[in-house]
Amino acid sequence: MTNDRETKKSIMGGDEREHRRLAMTLAAVLLLGAFQLGEGELKGNYSKLSGIIIPGFASTQLRAWSILDCPYSPLDFNPLDLVWLDTTKLLSAVNCWLKCMLLDPYNQTDHPECKSRPDSGLSAITELDPGYITGPLSSVWKEWVKWCIEFGIEANGIIAAPYDWRLSPSMLEERDLYFYKLKQTFETALKLRGGPSIVFAHSLGNNVFRYFLEWLKLEIAPKQYIQWLDDHIYAFFAVGAPLLGSTETVKGMLSGNTFGLPVSEGTARLMFNSFGSSLWMMPFSKYCRADAMYLKHFSGGIRKGPNTYQCEQKEFQSNYSGFSTNIINIEIPSTRGIDAYPSVSEFSQTNYSSMECGLPTQLSFSAREISDGTFFKAIEDYDSDSKRTLHQLKKSYHDDPVLNPLTPWDRPPIKNVFCIYGVDSRTEVGYYFAPSGKPYPDNWIITDVIYEIEGSLVSRSGNQVEGNPGPASGDETVPYHSLSWCKTWLGPRVNITRAPQSEHDGSDVQVELNVEHHDEDVVPNMTRSPRVKYITYYEDSESIPGKRTAVWELDKANHRNIVRSPALMRELWLQIWHDIHADSPSKFVSKAKRGPLRDDDCYWDYGKARCAWPEYCEYRYVFGDVHLGQSCRLRNSSADALLHYV
C-alpha cells in the first residue's frame, strides 16, 4: 500500500511539473516567431540558445591522475579519485592530499608523486564533494542547473567550461589548451543549437573569460573578431566579478585562508601560494594600465612591442589606488634600523608611519604597490616566499604575451552585458600584519582587520577608520570598489530602479530616469525599508551604439551563494524571456511587478487563510504534503502571467 501511494504521488507530481513545463513551452511557441538576431536584440525561440558556465576559483572538481600509496592511512589515491574536494581523504591522509593539490611554485608543474586534472561536464561544477551531508555544503551550480531543467532547457543547452583553477592564465592554454577548447565549445554550440550562447561567469571565471576575449584577438583576423563575437555570444552575465581584484587574496598569500577546510592557516598558505592563479585575484589600481606586449597581424606575423605600465596622475594624487584604504599595513621587524634591509630602504621615507632605531617600522601599501611588486620587494629580505611571488608576477602577469590581467577591464565588446553582484555585507578591505617569530609559512599574523560596512570603515575592534569608503560595502569577499567598476561600462544616461528581491505588487518600487553618468559610480537617491532586501538595477537609457549594459546590485547576497539566489535566477530567466519576445517595447524587462514562477515560490497566507498570490497560486493537495504551504502550487495557466514581463 505504501509503495502504491508513493508511486501515485510521484506520478501526480511528475504530471504537474510536465503540464507546467508544456504550458510554458507552448506559450513560447505561440508567442514567439522565427529566430532572429537584431542589433543587440534576440527574437525567437529560446531553444536555440546555449548557456555556457565558467565557474570561479575552487569551483571545479579536480581528480587524481596518478597512483599514490598513502602510508598510515587506509585510503590511497587512484586514477580518477576525487581530490578537490574529498573531505574524507583530506581528514585521513592530508599529506597525500596535499601532494595531489600542490604545484611547483616556479613552473606550475605537478608534484612528482601525484598529479590532478579538472573533471569535465556539469557534474564537475554542481557539487564539489557529493554526499548526503557534504553535497549541500559544497553545492555551487546545482540549483542553477535545476532552474534550467524546471523551465524546460534541454540537456545540450547547458554547457560547463570547467578548468584547473590553480593555474595562471598562460598556463591554462600552454598545458590544457583551455582557451582553444573554449573557442571550440562556442562554435560547437552554434552548430548544435543554431543560435548564440549566453555566458554565465562567476568570480574568477570572469577573469578567465576576459583573458579568453583577449586571446581570441590573436587567433582571429581583426575584421572578423567582432563578427565572431556577435555570431557566438549573445550576452555576458558577469556574476560577482572581482574587476579590480580582491583584498582577501592578500590574506591568503601572507597568513593563509582556510575557506572553512579542516587545515591550518600555514598549510592553507603553502597550498595557495603554490598556485599560479593566486596572483590573478590580487587587488590593483584602477588608474594604471599596460600596453599589449605582442601585436599579431591578420597575416599571421607576430611583432613584439613595448610592454609599458603607466598610471594616470590621479593614482599619485589619491591615497588608495581607487580603494577605500591601504590594503596592507605591515611591521618590519628591525633591530638595527631600516638600513638592515636594503630592499626596504629603497622606498620613500614618506611610507613610514613611524621610525625609531630599534623599534618595528610600519609600512603601508596600496593596491598598485601590491600588484606592481613593490610590496614583495619590500619584504624580500625576510620572507622566503617573496622571490617566488616576484618570479610568478613578472613571468605570468606583467610579461604575459596576451594580457596583463592586473589592469582595469574595459567593457567587453559583446552586445549585451549584465554585471551582477552583492552589496552591503561586511567585507574585509585592509589588514595589519606583524611578524610571528615562527618560520615560513607561519611567519605572519594578522593583528587587525579593516572592514567596509554599508558606507563606513571599521576595524575588528569596532573603531572607526579613516579612508575613502564607497556608498555601499561589498559581498563579504570582494570590496565594493572592485565589484562596482562595471558601472563605468554604462552609457551616458542611466535608468535606475530599486525593487524588493521577493515577489511584490509594485508598491515598493522606486525609479529614477535618465540619470547622467560620466564613467564613475552612480548612486541613487532612494530610500530603503530596513527589513526588505532590494535589487537595484542600473540600465542604459542612452546606450553605447549597438550595445546594451545593465548592473544589478543584490542586497546581502554574499560572493559564493549569489549563484544560488532565487531572486537572481528569476531575474535572469525573465530577462531572457523578455529578450526573445518579438514585440518587446523596451530594452529591459519590466520591474513593476514580480509574481511566483515556481511551486517553491507559492506559500500559505495564514492571515487570509488561503494561498498567497491567488492569481498565480492555488491550493492543490498532493499525497505526502506535510503543511499547507507545501500544497500551494502554481496554477496550470500561470504561463499566461509571463506576458506581463514582455
* Closest C-alpha among 417, 423, 100, 481 to residue 229: 417
Q: Which of 518, 519, 529, 627 is catalytic?
A: 518
Q: Is 511:496 a contact under the CB 8 Å cutoff?
A: yes
Burial 488-502 (b: 16+ CB within 10 A, else e): bbbbeebbbbbbbbe
Do β-strands 62-64 and 116-118 pair in parallel, antiparallel, or remain unpaired? Answer: antiparallel
278 is catalytic: no
Q: Is 63:77 a contact under the CB 8 Å cutoff?
A: no
* Closest C-alpha among 494, 526, 522, 521 to residue 510: 526
Helix (H, G, I), strand (E, B) or coil at 319: coil
- Owner of C-alpha cell 598556463: 171
Q: Which of 47, 203, 324, 386 is catalytic?
A: 203
- Name the CA dihedral angle for 161, 163, 168, 172, rounded to a multiple of 10 degrees: -80
In the structure grid, which three cell numbers stand for residue 431, read together? 589588514
* Closest C-alpha among 111, 110, 112 to residue 175: 110
Which contacts of 597-604 are long-range, i.e. CB under 8 A and separated by 24 or more positions? Answer: 597/570, 597/573, 597/634, 597/638, 598/150, 598/634, 599/632, 599/633, 599/634, 600/566, 601/503, 601/566, 601/634, 602/629, 602/632, 602/633, 602/634, 603/629, 603/632, 604/628, 604/629, 604/631, 604/632
Distance CA 580, CA 202 (A): 24
**Bridge partner list, 444:** 435
**Bridge partner list, 294:** 304
In the structure grid, which three cell numbers stand for residue 500, read together? 524588493
Q: Which residue type sits at 178?
A: Y
203 is catalytic: yes
Distance CA 274, CA 171 (A): 14
**Bridge partner list, 451:** 428, 458
Q: Which of 475, 579, 599, 601 is catalytic?
A: 475
Distance CA 537, CA 567 (A): 13
User: First vs last Cα of the chain: how many Å apart?
Assistant: 47
Angle at 150 between CA 146 and CA 153, to 5 degrees: 90
Distance CA 259, CA 241 (A): 19
Q: What does each C-alpha distance from 14 to 1, 325, 622 come to in angstroms?
A: 20, 55, 11
Output DSSP code: residue 77.
B
Backbone angles phi, psi at 49, to 5 degrees: -80, 150
246 is catalytic: no
- Name the CA dihedral angle for 385, 388, 391, 397, rounded to a multiple of 10 degrees: -80
Active site residues: 203, 475, 518
